[in-house]
Amino acid sequence: MAELSLVVCVYNEELNIEPLSKQIQTSLKGMDYEAIFVDDGSTDSTREKIRSIDNDRFILVELKCNYGQSSALQAGIDQAKGEYIALIDGDLQNDPADIPMMLKTLKEGNYDMVAGVRANRKDGALLRKIPSKIANYIIRESTGTMMKDLGCTLKIFTNEAVKSIHIYGELHRFIPVLLALEGSTRMTQVDVNHRARQFGSSKYNLSRTFRVFSDLILMLFLKKYMQRPMHFFGGIGILSLLFGGGISIYFFILKLLGNDIWGKPLLILGLIFFLSGVQFITMGILAEVIMRTYFESQKKKPFRIRSVKRLGNKK
């Protein structure tokens, strides 16, 4: 088993493969490593460029079509056998020369993850840097995960930490949040080199910003209510029932007093709130059943033990 597994996700990066592979070999010279290139359904000659690398430390994982960065990262992590696992972009903007320093930091600090921070980012301000800063601030404040640069792919983990999570959809930006949900709280960040893109085109566009906020809602729900969904749905349901029930009682009293209540907008609103309350409580019950099935069918635990030590002296 290699000490380090380096996972590189690529999609239509044919011109970057040769210089990146050379930089990896130079930067990691003397280390026991494997470099896993995950081709995410490229339509150019990216796969052929990877196959031409004459080094048995390099592995090519071919996906059948373009699944997206999160799925590609997960595919590479699944194949990784190293004691430590590093992630890096395949567009040459991350510098492989930072990896030895990050690995040293991880070992010396006994961290679960060391994340890179693009201190001098070489991207456009309007379309990349400003939206990224806003998204990072909102995610930090709402999730309590104090990472400066969640969009930087360059990260290194212990094998146990990164394989305790599953990255799907577009949750690669929320890896620190996912790790925290699994009990991996020993995380730090270091400044890393960032380079301007030389070849190929960026896969980023502003539509991703909106998807980030959609995923943020999911993260907030998982962080606060993953193990107790009834507290979320039930709380809303009870408030809705009380509000709708109060309106219904009010109109019932008016009816007893001989008033005509039919067709009143407030009465209809009360019925809507009452029925919505019933639905939310039902959803909460179903969510609780699903979570029990999730944990018990797979023998999962809602907690993770860091270590167990016997205290005292043996006699």
Residues 6+ apart with CB under 8 A from 160: none
Residue 234 and residue 192 in one domain:
no
In a domain, 302, yes or no: no
Q: Tell me what the pLDDT averaged over the chain comes to.
A: 86
Shared domain check, 287 and 140: no
- At which residue do the structure tokens 């069918």 appear? 297
Phi, psi of 212 (to 5 degrees): -60, -45
Q: What is the DSSP string of 20-63?
A: HHHHHHHHTTTS-EEEEEEE-S-SSSHHHHHHT---TTEEEEE-
163 lies in the same domain as 211:
yes
Say yes or no: 220 and 255 in one domain. Answer: no
- Of 102 and 291, more confident: 102
Whose structure tokens read 């640069």? 149
15-29, 44-58, 124-138, 247-261: least confident range? 124-138
Asked whether residue 64 falls in the same domain as residue 195, the answer is: yes
- The answer to whether residues 279 and 246 belong to one domain is yes
pLDDT for 42 equals: 92
The answer, yes or no, to whether residue 230 has pLDDT greater than 70, is yes
Q: What tokens does 90 get?
A: 């395949």
51 and 72 share one domain: yes
This prediction's pTM: 0.76
Which residues partner with 155 through β-bridges?
87, 115
Residue environment code for 51-89, b if the CB has 16+ CB neighbours within 10 A, otherwise e: eebeeebbbebebeebbbbbbbbbbbbeebebebbbbbb
Which of the four pLDDT bands, split at 50, 70 and 90, describes residue 123?
Answer: low
What pLDDT, on a 0 to 100 scale, did the predictor assign at position 207?
Answer: 59
Residue 211 lies in a domain: yes
pLDDT band at 127 (very low <50, low <70, confident <90, very high): low
86 bridge partner residues: 6, 156
How far from the centroid of its chain's Cα atoms is residue 184's Cα?
A: 13
Tens-place pLDDT, residues 10-51? 999 999 999 999 999 999 999 999 999 999 999 999 999 999
Would you state the pLDDT for residue 204? 59
Q: Are strands 84-89 and 58-62 parallel, antiparallel or unpaired?
A: unpaired
b/e map 284-309, b = 16+ CB within 10 Å: beebbeebeeeeeeeeeeeeeeeeee
Mean local confidence (pLDDT), 292-299: 78
What does the radius of gyration of the chain's CA atoms come to, in whole angstroms? 25
* Other CB atoms within 10 A of residue 224 CB: 13
pLDDT at 223: 76
Looking at the structure, do residues 21 and 65 belong to the same domain, yes or no? yes
Claim to verify: residue 49 and residue 185 sit in the same structural domain? yes
| Within-domain flag for 307 | no
Position 260 in a domain = yes
Tell me the pLDDT band of 272, cut-offs 50, 70 and 90: very high
* Domain containing residue 94: CATH number: 3.90.550.10
Inter-residue contact 10 to 92 (CB < 8 Å): no
Given a cut of 70, is residue 56 above it in pLDDT? yes
Q: Which domain holds residue 293?
A: 229-297
Residues with Cβ within 8 Å of 256's Cβ and at least 6 positions away in sequence, in order, are none
Nearest of 264, 227, 267, 210 to residue 244 by alpha carbon: 267
Length of the chain: 315
Query: 87-97, pLDDT tens digit by residue?
Result: 999 888 899 99
Residue 311 lies in a domain: no
